[in-house]
């Protein structure tokens, strides 16, 4: 028996994809329902990236929890815990693609650690050395007192400020 909900107005059955779309949000994928999933799809499409299964899953982990700062290793660990079958190399590639598409911003600390920031608006960071954590500085107007002179033919694209903090002894 086919329930009425899965019939078109003319009585024909919907195709499989349509049924999956129609039932998403009900019982089939409880972990992946709601706005974040929809938003990630829209986000990828708007950035010209095909919403593949892996991009959707990683995007959902990245963007589904508000503003975050993650390294590739941190995201890989989250993906593994969420049973998303991806390799660390795929995580790196996806993060770089999302960055190139303007959906993420890279913040390098130490030259060895690269964080990916889901907040791409202009802001600066505190780096908590003790816990290797990157935190937004709430004041967006924090500026260098005097901008350096730039070489002929160049302009300042962005100023990334990382204020390193350590616990007082």
Residues that bind Zn ion (CB under 5 A): 117, 119, 136
Q: Give which of 62, 69, 66 is closest to 131, Cα–Cα.
A: 69
d(CA 64, CA 87): 21
Shortest spacing between CB 84 and Zn ion, in angstroms: 24
Place of tokens 């770089």: 96
Shortest spacing between CB 90 and Zn ion, in angstroms: 24
Q: Distance of CA 118 to CAs 85, 138, 157, Å?
A: 22, 15, 19
d(CA 57, CA 162): 30
d(CA 16, CA 23): 11
Shortest spacing between CB 69 and Zn ion, in angstroms: 6
Shortest spacing between CB 55 and Zn ion, in angstroms: 22
Question: Which residue's CB is nearer to Zn ion, number 21 or number 143?
Answer: 143
Question: Which residue's CB is nearer to Zn ion, number 12 or number 121?
Answer: 121
């Amino acid at each position: 028996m086919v329930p009425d909900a899965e019939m078109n107005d003319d009585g024909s059955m919907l195709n499989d994809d349509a049924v999956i779309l129609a039932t998403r949000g009900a019982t089939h994928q409880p972990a992946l329902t709601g706005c974040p999933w929809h938003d990630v799809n829209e986000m990828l499409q708007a950035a010209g990236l095909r919403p593949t299964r892996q991009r959707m899953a990683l995007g959902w982990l990245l963007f589904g929890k508000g503003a975050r700062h993650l390294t590739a290793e941190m995201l890989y660990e989250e993906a593994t815990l969420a049973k998303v079958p991806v390799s660390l190399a795929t995580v790196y590639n996806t993060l770089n693609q999302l960055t190139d598409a303007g959906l993420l911003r890279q913040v390098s600390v130490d030259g060895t650690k690269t964080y990916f920031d889901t907040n791409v608006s202009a802001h600066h960071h505190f780096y908590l050395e003790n816990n290797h954590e990157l935190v937004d500085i709430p004041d967006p107007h924090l500026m260098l007192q005097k901008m350096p002179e730039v070489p002929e033919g160049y302009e300042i694209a962005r100023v990334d400020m990382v204020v390193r903090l350590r616990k007082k002894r």
